[in-house]
Amino acid sequence: MNKKNIRASLVILFIAIAWMISGYFAPGDPEIYEPEQKNQKVITINSIAQDFSVPVTVKGESQAFSKVDIKAQTSEKVLKINFLDGDFVQKGQVICELDSGQRRANFKKAEIDYNSTKELNNKGLASESALVTAETIYETAKIELNRTKIVAPFDGFVENLAKEGQLIQNGQMCASIVSLSPLKITGNVSELVVGKIKKGQRAEVKFISGEKFESVVSFVSSTADIQTRTFKVESTLNNADYSIKDGLTGELIIYTDPVKAHFVPTSAFLLAEDGNVALAEVVDGKINIVVVQILIDTTEGAWVTGLPEESRIVVSGQGFVNLGEEVDFIER
């Protein structure tokens, strides 16, 4: 082979190699890189509904069941006061003694006349009408005498006592008496919650002094106050030691009948598309959005209804997922 042929062969070989190389590196359709799709991670808690009593709190005031002014039923001078203001008295004890001189004399005479007339009637020497008259005079004199002793109508504490030597008039107060055991706590609730309050429900009383006492709802009014549109409620305290006085103010907390509810941390809440408060839960690996009702909230979280009895609630990451989205969850 001469030099020309060798040179020609080399040129052809070079061109072929260049063509092959250019074809190998020539641009073609670019490959599309599709990164691996990963599910959003969320943190959840597994919550089981518990019985929860929603507390209704209203302003309350202690009130005595019985509180009356004891009034004289006749006009006489006060001879003796047997107690001091604030003393405890028992039912039937004499508080005020009035001058009974003339009434006692009248009674003695009426008693003698009645006994004599009765004896004569038994012997047939006095008529039935005479006996009835004598008995009427006797009973009237007895009543008038008894009116000079003013007694306690029930157990309680006496105040506002009359003064010895004072001339007391018929209808004038000799003393006031208040019974402190049991004691009632009264308050008023709105028409929004009155339907949840029932007689016999547990209640708690917190006075301004800081003292707390267990109580029981004893009365729920069926009629609203015309001016305030609120309903009167009462609870009863035993107060056996009389430590709670009449007229103390504080809070009456009534625990309504329990409902099934979940306690959810504050971080878990979100707003549904309609603007209502909602929670995200994981069901079969997917996000479900549930509108809930807040029963009561605290600094740590809130008691809510609207969830199933057992729910895997999203407490972190709920703002980055959508309804129906598949997620991976880490249970806390």
The tens digit of pLDDT for each residue in 48-86 reads 999 999 999 999 999 999 999 999 999 999 999 999 999
> Could you tell me if 236 and 220 are in contact, meaning their C-beta atoms sit under 8 angstroms apart?
no
Report phi then psi at 151, rounded to 5. -110, 160
Distance CA 63, CA 178 (A): 10
Q: How far is residue 173 CA from its own chain's centroid? A: 38
Provide the 3-class DSSP secondary structure of residue 152: coil
Structure tokens at 29: 């359709």
pLDDT band at 203 (very low <50, low <70, confident <90, very high): very high
Domains of the chain: 42-52+259-331 (2.40.420.20), 56-64+179-255 (2.40.30.170), 71-176 (2.40.50.100)
Paired residues of 56 in beta bridges: 254
Residue 264 is which amino acid? V
- What's this model's pTM, rounded to 2 decimal places? 0.67
- Apex CA 58: angle with CA 54 and CA 61, to 5°? 135
Is the pLDDT confidence value at 24 over 50?
Answer: no
pLDDT of residue 25: 46
- Per-residue CA distances from 243 to 62, 181, 212 (Å): 12, 10, 12
pLDDT of residue 201: 96
Query: What size, in residues, is the chain?
Result: 332
C-alpha dihedral, 138 to 139 to 141 to 144, nearest 10°: 170
